[in-house]
Chain A
Protein backbone atom coordinates (compact mmCIF):
# COMPACT_ATOMS: atom_id res chain seq x y z
CA UNK A 1 0.00 0.00 0.00
CA UNK A 2 1.32 3.42 -0.92
CA UNK A 3 1.16 6.43 1.28
CA UNK A 4 1.96 10.03 0.55
CA UNK A 5 2.51 11.85 3.78
CA UNK A 6 1.30 15.43 4.06
CA UNK A 7 2.98 18.73 3.30
CA UNK A 8 5.77 20.00 5.48
CA UNK A 9 4.38 23.00 7.17
CA UNK A 10 1.09 24.08 8.55
CA UNK A 11 2.41 26.16 11.39
CA UNK A 12 2.99 29.43 9.60
CA UNK A 13 6.68 28.66 9.10
CA UNK A 14 7.83 29.00 5.53
CA UNK A 15 6.74 26.16 3.26
CA UNK A 16 9.66 24.45 1.52
CA UNK A 17 10.44 25.04 -2.11
CA UNK A 18 10.58 21.46 -3.46
CA UNK A 19 13.86 20.60 -5.12
CA UNK A 20 14.53 18.85 -8.39
CA UNK A 21 12.69 15.93 -9.83
CA UNK A 22 14.55 13.04 -8.25
CA UNK A 23 12.42 10.20 -7.00
CA UNK A 24 13.09 9.43 -3.36
CA UNK A 25 11.57 6.36 -1.80
CA UNK A 26 11.37 5.44 1.86
CA UNK A 27 10.88 1.70 2.19
CA UNK A 28 7.68 1.00 4.06
CA UNK A 29 7.87 -2.01 6.34
CA UNK A 30 7.02 -3.02 9.90
CA UNK A 31 9.32 -0.56 11.64
CA UNK A 32 8.96 2.77 13.34
CA UNK A 33 10.32 6.26 12.60
CA UNK A 34 9.32 6.31 8.95
CA UNK A 35 7.35 9.49 9.46
CA UNK A 36 10.33 11.17 11.14
CA UNK A 37 12.52 10.56 8.11
CA UNK A 38 9.83 11.85 5.80
CA UNK A 39 9.41 14.97 7.93
CA UNK A 40 13.15 15.63 7.79
CA UNK A 41 13.13 15.37 3.98
CA UNK A 42 10.17 17.75 3.81
CA UNK A 43 12.07 20.27 5.94
CA UNK A 44 14.94 20.02 3.44
CA UNK A 45 12.53 20.65 0.59
CA UNK A 46 12.41 17.10 -0.79
CA UNK A 47 9.30 15.05 -1.30
CA UNK A 48 9.57 11.30 -0.75
CA UNK A 49 7.19 8.44 -1.28
CA UNK A 50 6.72 5.87 1.48
CA UNK A 51 6.12 2.59 -0.30
CA UNK A 52 6.71 -1.15 -0.35
CA UNK A 53 6.02 -1.39 -4.11
CA UNK A 54 9.03 -3.22 -5.64
CA UNK A 55 8.73 -1.36 -8.97
CA UNK A 56 8.77 2.04 -7.32
CA UNK A 57 11.68 1.10 -5.08
CA UNK A 58 13.73 -0.23 -8.00
CA UNK A 59 13.07 2.83 -10.14
CA UNK A 60 13.80 5.41 -7.44
CA UNK A 61 16.87 7.64 -7.63
CA UNK A 62 17.44 7.34 -3.89
CA UNK A 63 16.23 4.73 -1.44
CA UNK A 64 16.06 5.22 2.33
CA UNK A 65 15.75 2.19 4.59
CA UNK A 66 14.91 3.53 8.06
CA UNK A 67 14.05 1.57 11.13
CA UNK A 68 13.39 1.39 14.82
CA UNK A 69 12.46 -2.03 16.05
CA UNK A 70 13.68 -5.54 16.75
CA UNK A 71 16.05 -7.23 14.28
CA UNK A 72 14.73 -10.80 14.02
CA UNK A 73 11.04 -9.93 13.61
CA UNK A 74 11.92 -7.25 11.09
CA UNK A 75 14.17 -9.62 9.10
CA UNK A 76 11.38 -12.21 9.07
CA UNK A 77 9.05 -9.61 7.60
CA UNK A 78 11.59 -8.57 4.94
CA UNK A 79 11.99 -12.23 3.88
CA UNK A 80 8.24 -12.86 3.76
CA UNK A 81 7.70 -9.86 1.53
CA UNK A 82 10.76 -10.44 -0.67
CA UNK A 83 12.09 -7.01 0.28
CA UNK A 84 15.32 -8.72 1.40
CA UNK A 85 16.31 -9.73 -2.13
CA UNK A 86 15.08 -6.46 -3.55
CA UNK A 87 17.25 -4.35 -1.21
CA UNK A 88 20.50 -6.23 -1.74
CA UNK A 89 20.15 -5.89 -5.53
CA UNK A 90 19.55 -2.14 -5.59
CA UNK A 91 22.05 -0.16 -7.68
CA UNK A 92 21.15 3.42 -6.75
CA UNK A 93 22.34 5.09 -3.51
CA UNK A 94 20.67 3.42 -0.52
CA UNK A 95 20.75 4.86 3.01
CA UNK A 96 20.07 2.57 5.96
CA UNK A 97 19.33 4.25 9.29
CA UNK A 98 19.73 2.72 12.78
CA UNK A 99 18.07 -0.72 12.62
CA UNK A 100 18.23 -0.31 8.82
CA UNK A 101 22.02 -0.23 9.08
CA UNK A 102 22.11 -3.24 11.39
CA UNK A 103 19.90 -5.26 9.04
CA UNK A 104 22.33 -4.48 6.21
CA UNK A 105 25.05 -6.40 8.12
CA UNK A 106 25.60 -10.17 8.00
CA UNK A 107 24.19 -11.18 11.37
CA UNK A 108 22.61 -9.62 14.47
CA UNK A 109 22.82 -10.86 18.04
CA UNK A 110 19.38 -9.30 18.54
CA UNK A 111 17.19 -12.36 18.02
CA UNK A 112 20.26 -14.22 16.63
CA UNK A 113 19.32 -13.66 13.02
CA UNK A 114 21.06 -13.78 9.64
CA UNK A 115 20.66 -10.40 7.96
CA UNK A 116 21.11 -8.92 4.47
CA UNK A 117 24.91 -9.34 4.36
CA UNK A 118 25.61 -6.17 2.41
CA UNK A 119 28.26 -5.31 4.98
CA UNK A 120 30.33 -8.27 6.17
CA UNK A 121 29.97 -7.30 9.83
CA UNK A 122 28.21 -8.81 12.83
CA UNK A 123 25.94 -6.71 15.04
CA UNK A 124 26.71 -7.22 18.74
CA UNK A 125 25.09 -6.14 22.00
CA UNK A 126 26.89 -3.49 24.05
CA UNK A 127 28.38 -4.92 27.25
CA UNK A 128 28.82 -2.72 30.31
CA UNK A 129 32.46 -2.38 31.43
CA UNK A 130 33.50 -4.48 34.47
CA UNK A 131 33.94 -1.51 36.78
CA UNK A 132 31.27 0.92 35.67
CA UNK A 133 32.57 3.97 37.53
CA UNK A 134 31.27 6.39 34.94
CA UNK A 135 27.69 5.14 35.24
CA UNK A 136 27.60 4.10 31.59
CA UNK A 137 24.07 3.15 30.54
CA UNK A 138 22.65 0.90 27.85
CA UNK A 139 21.12 1.88 25.45
CA UNK A 140 23.56 4.40 24.10
CA UNK A 141 21.05 7.23 24.07
CA UNK A 142 21.76 10.85 23.28
CA UNK A 143 24.28 12.97 21.41
CA UNK A 144 27.77 11.72 20.64
CA UNK A 145 30.54 12.66 18.20
CA UNK A 146 31.33 11.22 14.79
CA UNK A 147 35.06 11.11 13.99
CA UNK A 148 37.30 9.79 11.19
CA UNK A 149 34.51 10.54 8.74
CA UNK A 150 35.32 9.10 5.33
CA UNK A 151 32.47 8.87 2.88
CA UNK A 152 30.67 11.22 0.47
CA UNK A 153 27.94 11.15 3.12
CA UNK A 154 30.15 13.40 5.21
CA UNK A 155 32.06 16.48 4.27
CA UNK A 156 35.08 17.64 6.28
CA UNK A 157 32.98 20.11 8.24
CA UNK A 158 31.14 17.17 9.84
CA UNK A 159 34.27 15.78 11.52
CA UNK A 160 33.74 15.78 15.29
CA UNK A 161 30.12 16.93 15.13
CA UNK A 162 27.45 15.58 17.47
CA UNK A 163 24.60 13.38 16.21
CA UNK A 164 21.73 11.61 17.98
CA UNK A 165 21.87 7.91 18.86
CA UNK A 166 19.46 5.40 20.41
CA UNK A 167 20.72 1.81 20.26
CA UNK A 168 21.80 -1.18 22.34
CA UNK A 169 23.56 -3.11 19.55
CA UNK A 170 26.63 -1.96 17.62
CA UNK A 171 28.91 -2.77 14.69
CA UNK A 172 32.65 -3.01 15.37
CA UNK A 173 35.20 -1.06 13.34
CA UNK A 174 35.96 -2.71 9.99
CA UNK A 175 36.83 -2.10 6.38
CA UNK A 176 33.47 -0.47 5.58
CA UNK A 177 33.58 1.94 8.54
CA UNK A 178 32.66 5.43 7.34
CA UNK A 179 32.53 7.14 10.74
CA UNK A 180 33.66 6.21 14.24
CA UNK A 181 32.00 6.93 17.57
CA UNK A 182 33.32 6.10 21.02
CA UNK A 183 30.88 4.50 23.47
CA UNK A 184 32.30 1.79 25.75
CA UNK A 185 34.68 1.26 22.80
CA UNK A 186 35.18 2.88 19.38
CA UNK A 187 32.69 1.39 16.90
CA UNK A 188 31.21 2.03 13.44
CA UNK A 189 28.64 4.83 13.60
CA UNK A 190 28.43 4.82 9.80
CA UNK A 191 29.25 2.30 7.07
CA UNK A 192 29.65 2.55 3.32
CA UNK A 193 30.27 0.00 0.58
CA UNK A 194 29.66 1.02 -3.02
CA UNK A 195 26.13 2.41 -3.34
CA UNK A 196 25.15 1.32 0.19
CA UNK A 197 25.39 3.93 2.93
CA UNK A 198 24.30 3.50 6.52
CA UNK A 199 24.25 5.40 9.79
CA UNK A 200 23.77 4.00 13.28
CA UNK A 201 22.63 7.43 14.43
CA UNK A 202 19.44 9.22 13.39
CA UNK A 203 20.27 12.03 10.92
CA UNK A 204 16.57 12.91 10.87
CA UNK A 205 16.78 13.76 14.59
CA UNK A 206 20.28 15.25 14.63
CA UNK A 207 19.44 18.92 14.16
CA UNK A 208 21.20 20.90 11.45
CA UNK A 209 24.14 18.45 11.40
CA UNK A 210 21.80 15.60 10.53
CA UNK A 211 20.16 17.70 7.84
CA UNK A 212 23.58 18.32 6.25
CA UNK A 213 24.20 14.55 6.18
CA UNK A 214 20.80 13.84 4.60
CA UNK A 215 21.42 16.63 2.07
CA UNK A 216 24.80 15.08 1.19
CA UNK A 217 23.08 11.75 0.55
CA UNK A 218 20.42 13.35 -1.63
CA UNK A 219 23.13 15.11 -3.68
CA UNK A 220 24.92 11.83 -4.49
Chain B
Protein backbone atom coordinates (compact mmCIF):
# COMPACT_ATOMS: atom_id res chain seq x y z
CA UNK B 1 0.00 0.00 0.00
CA UNK B 2 1.24 3.46 -0.87
CA UNK B 3 2.52 5.23 2.25
CA UNK B 4 1.33 8.65 3.35
CA UNK B 5 4.23 11.07 3.11
CA UNK B 6 5.71 13.34 5.78
CA UNK B 7 7.40 16.34 4.19
CA UNK B 8 9.48 18.90 6.07
CA UNK B 9 9.51 22.22 4.27
CA UNK B 10 12.61 24.36 4.44
CA UNK B 11 12.04 27.99 3.63
CA UNK B 12 15.24 29.49 2.31
CA UNK B 13 16.45 33.06 2.46
CA UNK B 14 20.00 33.98 1.49
CA UNK B 15 20.99 30.29 1.57
CA UNK B 16 19.69 29.75 5.10
CA UNK B 17 16.61 27.95 6.40
CA UNK B 18 13.98 30.19 7.87
CA UNK B 19 10.40 29.88 9.00
CA UNK B 20 8.09 32.85 9.13
CA UNK B 21 5.11 32.83 11.42
CA UNK B 22 2.27 33.59 9.03
CA UNK B 23 5.06 34.50 6.57
CA UNK B 24 5.91 37.74 8.38
CA UNK B 25 8.39 37.42 11.25
CA UNK B 26 11.40 35.48 10.09
CA UNK B 27 14.00 33.61 12.16
CA UNK B 28 16.97 31.58 10.94
CA UNK B 29 17.27 27.91 11.85
CA UNK B 30 20.23 26.49 9.97
CA UNK B 31 22.02 25.25 6.88
CA UNK B 32 19.54 23.73 4.40
CA UNK B 33 21.80 20.91 3.24
CA UNK B 34 22.70 19.77 6.75
CA UNK B 35 19.12 20.08 7.93
CA UNK B 36 17.77 18.29 4.85
CA UNK B 37 20.23 15.41 5.26
CA UNK B 38 19.28 15.12 8.92
CA UNK B 39 15.58 14.97 8.05
CA UNK B 40 16.27 12.32 5.41
CA UNK B 41 18.10 10.18 7.98
CA UNK B 42 15.25 10.64 10.43
CA UNK B 43 12.72 9.30 7.94
CA UNK B 44 11.35 12.29 6.06
CA UNK B 45 9.74 10.98 2.85
CA UNK B 46 10.49 14.04 0.74
CA UNK B 47 11.77 17.54 1.24
CA UNK B 48 10.57 20.88 -0.08
CA UNK B 49 12.92 23.85 -0.38
CA UNK B 50 11.17 27.14 -1.00
CA UNK B 51 13.05 30.29 -1.83
CA UNK B 52 10.54 32.46 0.01
CA UNK B 53 12.04 35.77 -0.90
CA UNK B 54 12.11 34.97 -4.59
CA UNK B 55 8.65 35.96 -5.72
CA UNK B 56 8.39 39.36 -4.12
CA UNK B 57 11.96 40.39 -4.72
CA UNK B 58 11.86 39.04 -8.23
CA UNK B 59 14.97 36.97 -7.61
CA UNK B 60 15.87 33.89 -9.61
CA UNK B 61 16.27 30.67 -7.68
CA UNK B 62 19.22 29.16 -5.97
CA UNK B 63 20.75 26.74 -8.40
CA UNK B 64 24.01 26.24 -6.55
CA UNK B 65 22.24 25.32 -3.36
CA UNK B 66 20.09 22.85 -5.30
CA UNK B 67 23.24 21.19 -6.67
CA UNK B 68 24.55 20.72 -3.13
CA UNK B 69 21.21 19.33 -1.99
CA UNK B 70 21.10 16.86 -4.89
CA UNK B 71 24.59 15.58 -4.15
CA UNK B 72 24.01 15.06 -0.47
CA UNK B 73 20.41 13.97 -0.05
CA UNK B 74 19.07 10.52 -0.98
CA UNK B 75 15.32 11.18 -1.05
CA UNK B 76 13.21 13.17 -3.53
CA UNK B 77 13.02 16.92 -3.17
CA UNK B 78 10.99 19.76 -4.63
CA UNK B 79 12.25 23.29 -5.07
CA UNK B 80 10.18 26.39 -5.54
CA UNK B 81 10.21 30.13 -5.47
CA UNK B 82 10.53 32.53 -8.37
CA UNK B 83 10.12 30.01 -11.19
CA UNK B 84 8.43 32.00 -13.90
CA UNK B 85 9.76 30.55 -17.15
CA UNK B 86 10.98 27.29 -18.64
CA UNK B 87 14.63 28.25 -18.38
CA UNK B 88 14.32 28.63 -14.59
CA UNK B 89 12.90 25.11 -14.35
CA UNK B 90 15.48 23.71 -16.76
CA UNK B 91 18.33 25.04 -14.61
CA UNK B 92 16.82 23.44 -11.51
CA UNK B 93 16.26 20.11 -13.28
CA UNK B 94 19.89 20.12 -14.39
CA UNK B 95 20.97 20.98 -10.86
CA UNK B 96 19.24 17.79 -9.70
CA UNK B 97 15.78 18.84 -8.48
CA UNK B 98 13.19 16.06 -8.69
CA UNK B 99 10.25 18.44 -8.85
CA UNK B 100 9.62 22.15 -9.00
CA UNK B 101 6.71 24.04 -7.50
CA UNK B 102 5.08 27.05 -9.08
CA UNK B 103 2.77 29.39 -7.23
CA UNK B 104 2.30 33.11 -8.00
CA UNK B 105 3.84 32.80 -11.45
CA UNK B 106 1.29 30.14 -12.46
CA UNK B 107 -1.59 32.29 -11.21
CA UNK B 108 -0.33 35.15 -13.37
CA UNK B 109 0.48 32.91 -16.33
CA UNK B 110 -1.46 29.61 -16.15
CA UNK B 111 0.05 28.48 -19.48
CA UNK B 112 3.32 28.05 -17.57
CA UNK B 113 1.94 24.81 -16.09
CA UNK B 114 1.17 23.41 -19.55
CA UNK B 115 4.61 24.38 -20.81
CA UNK B 116 6.39 22.85 -17.81
CA UNK B 117 4.38 19.62 -18.01
CA UNK B 118 4.98 19.27 -21.76
CA UNK B 119 8.70 19.88 -21.49
CA UNK B 120 9.55 18.04 -18.29
CA UNK B 121 6.57 15.77 -17.55
CA UNK B 122 3.76 16.17 -15.03
CA UNK B 123 5.76 14.33 -12.36
CA UNK B 124 8.11 17.34 -12.28
CA UNK B 125 5.40 19.97 -11.71
CA UNK B 126 3.84 20.76 -8.34
CA UNK B 127 1.19 23.47 -8.33
CA UNK B 128 1.43 25.30 -5.00
CA UNK B 129 -1.71 27.17 -4.01
CA UNK B 130 -2.00 29.58 -1.08
CA UNK B 131 -5.60 30.35 -0.24
CA UNK B 132 -7.62 32.23 2.37
CA UNK B 133 -11.01 31.09 3.60
CA UNK B 134 -13.93 33.42 2.93
CA UNK B 135 -17.07 31.51 3.92
CA UNK B 136 -18.50 28.05 3.30
CA UNK B 137 -16.72 26.52 0.31
CA UNK B 138 -15.35 29.85 -0.75
CA UNK B 139 -11.55 30.09 -0.64
CA UNK B 140 -9.74 32.86 -2.46
CA UNK B 141 -6.32 32.15 -3.97
CA UNK B 142 -3.60 34.56 -2.85
CA UNK B 143 -0.15 35.34 -4.26
CA UNK B 144 3.13 36.78 -3.00
CA UNK B 145 3.18 34.87 0.27
CA UNK B 146 -0.47 35.49 1.02
CA UNK B 147 -0.24 39.24 0.67
CA UNK B 148 -2.31 39.72 -2.48
CA UNK B 149 -5.77 38.19 -3.07
CA UNK B 150 -6.60 37.20 -6.65
CA UNK B 151 -9.81 36.60 -8.58
CA UNK B 152 -9.20 32.82 -8.53
CA UNK B 153 -10.98 30.37 -6.24
CA UNK B 154 -9.24 27.38 -4.67
CA UNK B 155 -11.25 24.46 -6.08
CA UNK B 156 -11.65 25.68 -9.64
CA UNK B 157 -8.01 26.79 -9.81
CA UNK B 158 -6.76 23.45 -8.40
CA UNK B 159 -8.81 21.59 -11.02
CA UNK B 160 -7.44 23.87 -13.73
CA UNK B 161 -3.88 23.15 -12.55
CA UNK B 162 -4.57 19.42 -12.84
CA UNK B 163 -6.10 19.84 -16.31
CA UNK B 164 -3.09 21.87 -17.43
CA UNK B 165 -0.76 19.07 -16.38
CA UNK B 166 0.32 19.61 -12.76
CA UNK B 167 1.37 16.35 -11.13
CA UNK B 168 0.56 17.34 -7.54
CA UNK B 169 -1.20 20.10 -5.62
CA UNK B 170 0.45 21.67 -2.57
CA UNK B 171 -2.33 23.52 -0.78
CA UNK B 172 -1.47 25.96 2.02
CA UNK B 173 -4.28 27.44 4.05
CA UNK B 174 -3.21 30.95 4.98
CA UNK B 175 -5.73 30.85 7.82
CA UNK B 176 -4.14 27.76 9.37
CA UNK B 177 -0.48 28.42 8.58
CA UNK B 178 1.54 29.16 11.73
CA UNK B 179 -1.47 28.76 14.01
CA UNK B 180 -0.72 25.11 14.93
CA UNK B 181 -4.37 24.14 15.44
CA UNK B 182 -4.52 21.52 12.67
CA UNK B 183 -4.80 21.47 8.87
CA UNK B 184 -7.72 22.75 6.75
CA UNK B 185 -9.19 19.24 6.59
CA UNK B 186 -12.56 20.04 5.08
CA UNK B 187 -11.09 21.87 2.09
CA UNK B 188 -8.37 19.21 1.73
CA UNK B 189 -10.92 16.38 1.61
CA UNK B 190 -12.88 18.23 -1.04
CA UNK B 191 -9.72 18.72 -3.10
CA UNK B 192 -8.82 15.05 -2.77
CA UNK B 193 -12.33 13.99 -3.85
CA UNK B 194 -12.45 16.36 -6.81
CA UNK B 195 -8.95 15.81 -8.19
CA UNK B 196 -7.10 12.71 -9.36
CA UNK B 197 -3.60 13.89 -8.50
CA UNK B 198 -1.94 13.74 -5.05
CA UNK B 199 -2.70 16.50 -2.56
CA UNK B 200 0.00 17.78 -0.20
CA UNK B 201 -1.48 19.49 2.86
CA UNK B 202 0.31 22.49 4.33
CA UNK B 203 -0.40 24.92 7.13
CA UNK B 204 -1.53 24.19 10.65
CA UNK B 205 0.49 21.26 11.99
CA UNK B 206 1.02 21.68 15.72
CA UNK B 207 0.54 18.19 17.16
CA UNK B 208 0.91 14.58 16.03
CA UNK B 209 -2.89 14.16 16.00
CA UNK B 210 -3.09 16.83 13.32
CA UNK B 211 -1.24 14.51 10.92
CA UNK B 212 -3.57 11.62 11.72
CA UNK B 213 -6.51 13.92 11.01
CA UNK B 214 -5.08 15.27 7.75
CA UNK B 215 -4.61 11.72 6.39
CA UNK B 216 -8.00 10.42 7.56
CA UNK B 217 -10.46 13.35 7.67
CA UNK B 218 -8.50 15.50 5.21
CA UNK B 219 -7.74 12.53 2.85
CA UNK B 220 -4.37 14.10 2.03
CA UNK B 221 -1.59 12.11 0.39
CA UNK B 222 1.15 14.00 2.19
CA UNK B 223 1.47 16.33 5.15
CA UNK B 224 3.94 19.20 5.05
CA UNK B 225 5.24 21.23 7.97
CA UNK B 226 8.18 23.39 8.89
CA UNK B 227 8.53 24.92 12.35
CA UNK B 228 7.40 21.88 14.34
CA UNK B 229 10.27 19.95 12.77
CA UNK B 230 12.84 22.75 12.79
CA UNK B 231 12.28 23.52 16.46
CA UNK B 232 12.10 19.80 17.32
CA UNK B 233 8.61 20.12 18.76
CA UNK B 234 7.69 16.90 16.96
CA UNK B 235 10.60 14.59 16.06
CA UNK B 236 9.91 12.80 12.75
CA UNK B 237 10.66 9.26 14.06
CA UNK B 238 8.22 9.73 16.93
CA UNK B 239 5.56 11.15 14.61
CA UNK B 240 5.91 8.21 12.22
CA UNK B 241 5.71 5.63 15.03
CA UNK B 242 2.59 7.34 16.33
CA UNK B 243 0.94 7.29 12.89
CA UNK B 244 1.77 3.61 12.38
CA UNK B 245 0.16 2.93 15.77
CA UNK B 246 -2.92 4.76 14.53
CA UNK B 247 -3.14 2.45 11.51
CA UNK B 248 -1.96 4.98 8.92
CA UNK B 249 0.25 3.50 6.14
CA UNK B 250 3.63 5.08 6.84
CA UNK B 251 7.20 4.22 5.83
CA UNK B 252 9.32 3.45 8.88
Q: Which residues of A are interface residues toward B (Cβ below 8 A)? A: 8-11, 13, 32-33, 35-36, 39-40, 42-43, 68-70, 128, 135, 137-145, 162, 164, 166, 182-183, 202, 204-208, 210-211
- The reply to whether B1 and A182 form a contact with Cβ atoms under 8 Å apart is yes
Chain A residues near B68 (CB-CB < 8 A): 10-11
When A and B form their complex, which 3 residue pairs have the shortest distance between CB atoms, in order from nearest?
A162-B251, A143-B3, A143-B251
Q: Count CB-based A-B contacts (< 8 Å).
A: 91
Chain B residues near A164 (CB-CB < 8 A): 75-76
- The reply to whether B2 and A142 form a contact with Cβ atoms under 8 Å apart is yes
Q: Show 6 residue pairs from A and B whose CB-CB distance is below 8 angstroms, ordered by the A residue.
A: A11-B33, A32-B93, A40-B74, A142-B221, A144-B2, A206-B75
Chain A residues near B221 (CB-CB < 8 A): 137, 142
From known contacts A35-B94, A35-B96, A142-B222, infer whether A9 and B196 are also in contact, taking CB-CB under 8 Å.
Answer: no
Residue of B nearest to A144 (CB): B2
Question: Which residues in window 38-70 of B have CB below 8 A to A?
Answer: 40, 45, 68, 70
With an 8 A cutoff between CB atoms, is B114 at the interface? no
Q: Which residues of B are interface residues toward A (Cβ below 8 A)? A: 1-3, 5, 33-34, 37, 40, 45, 68, 70-72, 74-76, 93-96, 98, 120-124, 167-168, 192-193, 196-198, 219, 221-222, 251
Question: Nearest-CB distance from B63 to chain A (Å)?
Answer: 13
- The reply to whether A11 and B72 form a contact with Cβ atoms under 8 Å apart is yes
- The reply to whether B3 and A13 form a contact with Cβ atoms under 8 Å apart is no
Question: Nearest-CB distance from A58 to chain B (Å)?
Answer: 28
From known contacts A11-B33, A141-B198, A144-B3, infer whether A208 and B74 are also in contact, taking CB-CB under 8 Å.
Answer: yes
Chain A residues near B33 (CB-CB < 8 A): 11, 13
